[in-house]
Amino acid sequence: MGRLSLYRKWRPQEFKDVAGQEHIISTLQNAIETGRVAHAYLFAGPRGTGKTTTARLLAKALNCVNGPTSSPCDECESCIAIREGRSLDVFEIDGASNRGIDEIRELRETVRFKATQGNYKVYIIDEVHMLTTEAFNALLKTLEEPPEHVIFVFATTEPQKIPATILSRCQRFTFRRIPSDVIVQRLTEISEKEGIQAEEGALRLLAETAQGGMRDAISLLDQSIAFSENIVTTTVVQDMLGLTDAQALNAFYQVLISKDLTKGLSLIKSASEEGKDLVHFMESAMQVARGLLVVKADKDAPLQSGEILLNITREESMELAAKFDSKYLVRIIETLAETIQKAKRTADPELFFELSLVKLTEEPVGTTQVDAAAIIEFNKKLEAQSKKIQELEQKIKEGRSLQVENSDINLFWEGLLQQLKSRKDTLEYWAFLNVAEPVALEGIDLYISFPDAYEFHRANVENPKNKSLIEQKLEELTGKALRLRIDESPKFKRDPNFLTKTQEVFGGKIIKPE
Ligand SMILES: [Zn+2]
């Protein structure tokens, strides 16, 4: 067994350590102090924002030897048992893996017995929206007449999927995304206590990437440490996350200043040829615009992730910001956000990126110094693409079998990465695999390749122990025993049934491309 993950090690053991959810914590503490704890709580909110952690702390507060108390001692037998996940009075049920009615039936039987050690039995059902209707109905019977000593905490990322009959019996708390500043502060604390040197810029990038989820941020820190032999630098984090380098981003912003479309298109082309992830590129460019907007409004604002990405000082970023008016920066953000959404769903992000650049370099009035040849070239490409899409749509309408080009493996791969990224137990594989390029899927052989710059990622995935773990996860996700083929050539270059295969593996139905 490996060492304890940083996330587990630094999971808050006291209410005061739960970051960014002060509104919930103080309400709960107040309820405990005044003896007005509800029978059922619904903790709704994005992943990794402290829902189950808070549920465990509530259990501690109720069952502590000094309890019920708003500040459990974390030293008594009950507190320690809950901390170590072996308390007989706290039941954690994962709704995602226990969808069946059996678990809820069992719950209904055990719920009648008094708590063994403490005063309360606490049932924590995570991802409760995954339960089946039958299971919900069984649960409802218990909720209608809850025994005196029982508390339910339902945690969910999708409260809208929970039946109204259940909702109406719960006191509801909405967990917020945790602000980046708060995450950075926590990451700094953890690094200091672990004796790890980390640049502030590196931690900020991790926080931004985690998008308000503390658990993801800490897991990413854990991986960065593995990458960097105890000095976590901005460069290490950029490499690990596959972020775009400062030089290309700077060049992109120079293009926006000069409105030089020709230069811009060739920048995108070479970024693509160098194997850079264009969606990442656009995401980074969007962060830069956001940072410039903030700096424009407040020169003393905290360090912006855009500044880290560009690798510039505050003075330089103010100079750059002065070259854009705020309206234009907002337009950059809006245009890129829209483009990223579209590009993620296609095998050809390059085209969408180019299109957004055309929009961003258009002068509202007057003439532009755009090279006519570049526009003709671009229009040709656009035409070819829309023709291809029309053909596809036509075939779908006619119900004919699809002759999809090999490039559609991108859809499959993108789906796989999304799933890896969305689960806490597979996030680290995502970090390794997200820089790889899918080549083909043939039978059970999934061919992928790593660009030369990602030797470290390749080595990690090739490591036989990791490889078999990853393949195991892939099987869990897809239901198929897939074999990873790294940097090998597939036998066939084209797979006419690719889309159908993708559908077989992931389920769902084929929708029309954009
Ligand atoms: Zn205690």
Local structure of residue 333 (DSSP, 8 states): H
Expressed in angstroms and rounded, the spacing between residue 59 Cα and the centre of ligand 1 is: 10
Expressed in angstroms and rounded, the spacing between residue 160 Cα and the centre of ligand 1 is: 35
Please tell me the predicted confidence (pLDDT) of residue 119: 79
Expressed in angstroms and rounded, the spacing between residue 61 Cα and the centre of ligand 1 is: 7
Q: Measured between alpha carbons, how far is residue 466 from residues 398, 429, 473 in Å?
A: 44, 9, 11
Same domain, 92 and 143: yes
Expressed in angstroms and rounded, the spacing between residue 376 Cα and the centre of ligand 1 is: 73
Expressed in angstroms and rounded, the spacing between residue 8 Cα and the centre of ligand 1 is: 20
The total number of structural domains in the chain stands at 4
**Residue 513 forms part of a structural domain:** no
Expressed in angstroms and rounded, the spacing between residue 39 Cα and the centre of ligand 1 is: 21
Expressed in angstroms and rounded, the spacing between residue 18 Cα and the centre of ligand 1 is: 18
Same domain, 432 and 498: yes
Expressed in angstroms and rounded, the spacing between residue 479 Cα and the centre of ligand 1 is: 43
* Domain range enclosing 470: 406-506
Between CA 429 and CA 240 the distance in angstroms is: 12
Expressed in angstroms and rounded, the spacing between residue 82 Cα and the centre of ligand 1 is: 9
Expressed in angstroms and rounded, the spacing between residue 68 Cα and the centre of ligand 1 is: 10
Same domain, 103 and 136: yes
**Residue 512 forms part of a structural domain:** no
Between CA 420 and CA 68 the distance in angstroms is: 40
**Residue 319 forms part of a structural domain:** yes
Between CA 454 and CA 104 the distance in angstroms is: 47
Between CA 45 and CA 37 the distance in angstroms is: 21
Between CA 433 and CA 449 the distance in angstroms is: 10
Please tell me the predicted confidence (pLDDT) of residue 39: 92
**Predicted confidence pLDDT, tens digits, the chain (514 residues):** 356 789 889 999 999 999 999 999 999 999 999 999 999 999 999 989 999 999 999 999 999 999 899 999 999 999 999 999 899 889 888 887 766 677 777 777 777 777 665 579 999 999 999 888 888 888 888 888 888 889 999 999 989 889 999 999 999 999 998 998 999 999 999 999 999 999 998 999 899 888 889 998 999 999 888 878 768 998 888 877 766 678 889 899 999 999 988 889 989 988 888 777 888 889 889 989 988 988 888 888 877 888 888 878 889 999 999 999 888 998 999 899 989 888 887 777 888 899 899 889 886 543 444 455 665 666 666 666 666 555 655 544 443 322 233 346 666 777 778 777 777 677 778 878 888 887 777 777 888 888 776 777 888 888 887 888 888 877 777 777 788 888 776 543 334 444 454 555 554 544 544 3
Expressed in angstroms and rounded, the spacing between residue 190 Cα and the centre of ligand 1 is: 24
Same domain, 362 and 419: no
Domain-ending residue, one of 125, 142, 174: 174
DSSP-based three-state secondary structure for 39: coil
Same domain, 236 and 254: no
DSSP-based three-state secondary structure for 13: coil
**Residue 115 forms part of a structural domain:** yes
| CATH code, domain with 493 | 3.30.300.180
Between CA 128 and CA 473 the distance in angstroms is: 23
**Residue 205 forms part of a structural domain:** yes
Between CA 263 and CA 272 the distance in angstroms is: 14
**Residue 360 forms part of a structural domain:** yes
Same domain, 12 and 148: yes
Q: Could you list the beta-strand ranges (E) of 323-457.
A: 437-442, 445-449
Using only C-alpha atoms, the chain has a radius of gyration, in whole angstroms, of: 26
Expressed in angstroms and rounded, the spacing between residue 120 Cα and the centre of ligand 1 is: 13
Expressed in angstroms and rounded, the spacing between residue 56 Cα and the centre of ligand 1 is: 12
Domain-ending residue, one of 222, 241, 260: 241
Cis before 68 (ω within 30) = yes
Expressed in angstroms and rounded, the spacing between residue 116 Cα and the centre of ligand 1 is: 15
Residue 183 host element (H or E) = helix 180-194
Between CA 232 and CA 234 the distance in angstroms is: 7
Expressed in angstroms and rounded, the spacing between residue 7 Cα and the centre of ligand 1 is: 22
Domain-ending residue, one of 210, 225, 241: 241
Between CA 235 and CA 241 the distance in angstroms is: 10
Nearest to 226 by CA among 495, 436, 10, 466: 466
Expressed in angstroms and rounded, the spacing between residue 459 Cα and the centre of ligand 1 is: 46
Same domain, 231 and 331: no
Expressed in angstroms and rounded, the spacing between residue 51 Cα and the centre of ligand 1 is: 20
Same domain, 22 and 164: yes
Same domain, 461 and 413: yes
Expressed in angstroms and rounded, the spacing between residue 49 Cα and the centre of ligand 1 is: 24
**Residue 237 forms part of a structural domain:** yes
| CATH code, domain with 254 | 1.20.272.10
Structure tokens at 299: 């020169």
Please tell me the predicted confidence (pLDDT) of residue 405: 35
Expressed in angstroms and rounded, the spacing between residue 63 Cα and the centre of ligand 1 is: 7
Expressed in angstroms and rounded, the spacing between residue 477 Cα and the centre of ligand 1 is: 40
Query: How far does Cα 375 stand from its chain's mean position?
Result: 37
**Residue 1 forms part of a structural domain:** no
Residue 144: HSE in the Cβ half-sphere, 13 Å Cα cutoff: 7
Expressed in angstroms and rounded, the spacing between residue 88 Cα and the centre of ligand 1 is: 15
**Do residues 448 and 486 make contact, with C-beta atoms less than 8 angstroms apart?**
yes
Amino acid, single-letter form, for residue 377: E
Same domain, 16 and 137: yes
Expressed in angstroms and rounded, the spacing between residue 66 Cα and the centre of ligand 1 is: 6
Residue 94 host element (H or E) = strand 90-94
Between CA 127 and CA 257 the distance in angstroms is: 47
**Which are the contacts of 305, defined by CB distance < 8 A and separation ≥ 6?**
180, 204, 205, 208, 287, 291
Instruction: Please list the residues that pair with 483 across neighbouring strands.
Output: 445
Expressed in angstroms and rounded, the spacing between residue 369 Cα and the centre of ligand 1 is: 72
Expressed in angstroms and rounded, the spacing between residue 64 Cα and the centre of ligand 1 is: 4
Please tell me the predicted confidence (pLDDT) of residue 497: 47
Expressed in angstroms and rounded, the spacing between residue 78 Cα and the centre of ligand 1 is: 6
Expressed in angstroms and rounded, the spacing between residue 378 Cα and the centre of ligand 1 is: 68
Instruction: Please list the residues that pair with 174 across neighbouring strands.
Output: 44
Same domain, 168 and 124: yes
Between CA 450 and CA 437 the distance in angstroms is: 6
Expressed in angstroms and rounded, the spacing between residue 37 Cα and the centre of ligand 1 is: 18
Expressed in angstroms and rounded, the spacing between residue 15 Cα and the centre of ligand 1 is: 13
Same domain, 374 and 287: yes
Helices 214-228 and 234-241, packing angle to 10 deg: 110
Expressed in angstroms and rounded, the spacing between residue 277 Cα and the centre of ligand 1 is: 50
Expressed in angstroms and rounded, the spacing between residue 71 Cα and the centre of ligand 1 is: 9
